[in-house]
Amino acid sequence: MNIITKKKLNIFPVCAVLASLTFFNMSNVTQAAAMYDAAFWPCKGFPTNVYADMKHYVDQSVTDLGYGWINQSARNGWDKITDADVGYGRVFDYQSADTRAFAGYYTWADYSGLMQAYYSNGSKVPDADYLRPETPFYKAHVLLNDYIMDELLYSDNERLKTAIHEWGHVMKLAHQSPPSSNNGVWDSVMITGQFSMLAPSWADEQNVKWKY
């Protein structure tokens, strides 16, 4: 999607796409992951039957830049959640795909990963519309920015976390707040930042089970 958390290379890495809309005083709080309805954007997204079997197109750029296994592992991480009617089916026809994956050396961009949804007329879903209950997804693109991830020396596992995070956005999962620096735990792949996570967390899985 196109709601981007800005990243400056000389400050700190941010690997996800929706700017947090709620701010917390974390000094005296152990922040747990938001659960159930609070974990999702209010938009419609794809119809339920599409989430059950998303037709997925992988651009050649994903393989060429070495993200083939990362993209597949990220999708599989969501697909394998039991008791959730979520799935992906690979297609080789660009037009028929519901979701599409790309990788690139996007020197003009300041994100490591991006999920961008589209309306049926081909226009991008603007930032504010992800928060509107009437907003549907017609197509969704996931972009992995090899330039930023190379510049910030992302490990393979950090690149995988980025991809899992962006595919979480496809399912309307919103950003999670980071934990307290003293006693919190990094308990969701939907937390922004450059860190390793090899699969959706328990909280992420419970949220997807609840929704789908």
The whole-number pLDDT of residue 177 equals 85
Average pLDDT of the residues in 54-81:
97
Q: What is the pTM of this model?
A: 0.84
The whole-number pLDDT of residue 4 equals 39
Cα–Cα dist 212/13, whole Å: 31
Average pLDDT of the residues in 96-106:
98
Cα–Cα dist 99/104, whole Å: 17
The whole-number pLDDT of residue 180 equals 59
Which CATH fold topology does 36-211 show?
Answer: Collagenase (Catalytic Domain) (3.40.390)
Residue 45: pLDDT over 80: yes
Summarised one tens digit per residue, pLDDT across range 114-143 is: 999 999 999 999 999 999 999 999 999 999
**pLDDT-derived band at 187, boundaries 50, 70, 90:** confident
The whole-number pLDDT of residue 142 equals 98
On average, the pLDDT of the chain sits at: 86
In Å, how far are 45, 58, 173, 176 from 49, measured between CA atoms? 11, 21, 17, 26
**What is the residue extent of each domain of the chain?**
36-211
The whole-number pLDDT of residue 32 equals 75
